[in-house]
Amino acid sequence: MNAKVRLGEFLQTRRSQLQPEDLGIPDFGERRRVPGLRREELASLAGVSVSYYTRLEQGQSLNASPQVLDAIARALRLEEAERLHLHNLARSSATGPGSGRGRRPAPERVTEATGQLLEVLAQVPALVTGRRGDVLAWNRLGHALFAGHLDPGAPDRSAQRPNMARLVFLDAHTRDLYADWPAKARAVVGNLRLVAGRHPDDTALHALVGELSAKSADFASMWADHRVTACAVATYGMRHPLVGPLTVTQQTLSQGPGQEQGQNIVVATTEADSPARTTLALLDQVTSQHGPARPGVRASSS
């Protein structure tokens, strides 16, 4: 699917999700053939002509200014992450396919400094993910909390690296792990949408989306919704098979300038003096005694 189609589908889907009454638009009892706002209503709210907006939605207008895109974003009531996604889609539509299309993606590696950070965070579940959600490294407690049923050495082998989106949608253990699985699933899809807008030429990402769409009806439905989520902090109830229920706050820390682009450090924290803190300490104790002690995290070599 090219960038023009992605932009058009995003605009159409988000327009269909807005109800006229929510925006103070009278319907005079009219029967609407399609849900949501009409193109002329959205164009009026954004302060652009209907013909211009129609061309933009149909991929025929490739030079929308940032000001016009911001006006459309306000009319659609987009959140900040969604507004940036709209700009990314419009930019991709204007520039066309990038020079990287069709090339094999460069392998993602964890830097030595990031590996050292995981070692320091020994008492906190932590893992490093690439921009497509591949697990590049995890510390012992991160492995125990998120994927204790998998080989702890899997991230060291590029061909066997777990992918968080695949785990959430295709792995029964991970699905059962989250008490509110739909909330976790929507966050995963929303983040993938955001990444796809930033990296329209990432063939590996397109392949991942295609695989998940074919294998999971839930994913296909959520992907078609075009929701975009920048999920930096979220609280999840978890049902761990070894230690039982606990509530954690997952925080995604993006690597800054000069680091490996697109990599994130995901940590799970608990409130002080909470039952969840005690449960996490128990998980640490149980896995250190009975699980294979993993050696210090190394910088990835493949």
**pLDDT, tens digit, 9 for 90 and up, residues 138-155:** 999 999 999 999 999 999
DSSP state of 270: -
Residues 245-259: pLDDT tens digits?
999 999 998 865 444
Q: Are 163 and 132 in contact (CB under 8 A)?
A: yes
Q: What are 83's two structure tokens?
A: 């507004």
pTM for the structure as a whole: 0.78
**203-215 and 181-198 helices, crossing angle to 10°:** 150
pLDDT at position 189 is 95
| Least confident stretch, 83-87, 153-157, 201-205, 260-264 | 260-264
- Report strand pairing: 233-240 vs 264-269: unpaired
Top-level class of domain 3-95: mainly alpha
* φ, ψ of residue 128 in degrees (nearest 5): -110, 130
pLDDT attached to residue 178? 97
- Tell me the mean pLDDT in the region 265-278: 96
Q: Is residue 178 within 8 Å of residue 184, measured between CB atoms?
A: yes
**First-to-last C-alpha distance (Å) of the chain:** 30
Among 74, 98, 141, 110, CA closest to 283: 141
Q: Which CATH architecture has domain 112-290?
A: 2-Layer Sandwich (3.30)
Indicate the domain borders of the chain: 3-95, 112-290
pLDDT digits (tens, 9 = 90+) for 61-110: 667 888 999 999 999 998 888 888 888 888 877 665 554 455 556 678 88
Q: Are strands 244-254 and 233-240 parallel, antiparallel or unpaired?
A: antiparallel
